[in-house]
Amino acid sequence: MKNTSYLLSHQVIRACFLLSIVWICSCKPDESKPKEIVQNYGTGQVSRRYTEVNHKKEGLMTDYYPSGKLKAERLFENDMQVGKTTLYYESGKTKEVQYYQDGKLAGGDTVFYEDGKPQMMLNFTSGVKNGYIRSWGPDGSITYEAKYSMDTLVEVKGKAIEPDTMHIEGYSSQKGFRK
């Protein structure tokens, strides 16, 4: 009887031990729950804050200057940048506004002087320059104007560029101006 109860208790202990190991191994963190990621400067000041779900960026990402002031706001869906991105001067004024679709620049990209006047405007389609690029000096005068068609320069200062040739201020190339 002693042998039987000893063997039985030994088997119960062994079964409990194995069940405990199985239970512990199955208790992994739930990766589908949002996890806040905070990155810091060497000083400890927050430099970036965003959320990950399944190791992918989701929602708003904010960047900060070492002073703690807001530097940028970006949106992510499934680890790809989407929607409006705004970058700021440390003064809080808007520095640049960009638009993303499926992780690529899409639509207008506008850079501003700190006084709010436009400095440069570009247009993108699926991440490539497509449309006019214009730059302005601090006084508001146009300093540069060109037109791109799917990343190929087609016009400068209102003058068409010959296909596969680039003629700008004395420069000529048979290769053209392509990225």
How far apart, in whole angstroms, are the C-alpha atoms of residue 32 and residue 23?
20
- pTM comes to 0.73
Average pLDDT over residues 83-104: 97
In this predicted model, what pLDDT tens digit does every residue of 96-139 receive, in sequence order?
A: 999 999 999 999 999 999 999 999 999 999 999 999 999 999 99
Q: First CA to last CA across the chain, in angstroms?
A: 87
What pLDDT is stored for residue 62 in this prediction? 98
**Amino acid letter for position 34:** P
pLDDT digits (tens, 9 = 90+) for 34-57: 999 999 999 999 999 999 999 999
pLDDT digits (tens, 9 = 90+) for 138-172: 999 999 999 999 999 999 988 998 776 555 554 44
- Rg value, the chain, Cα: 29
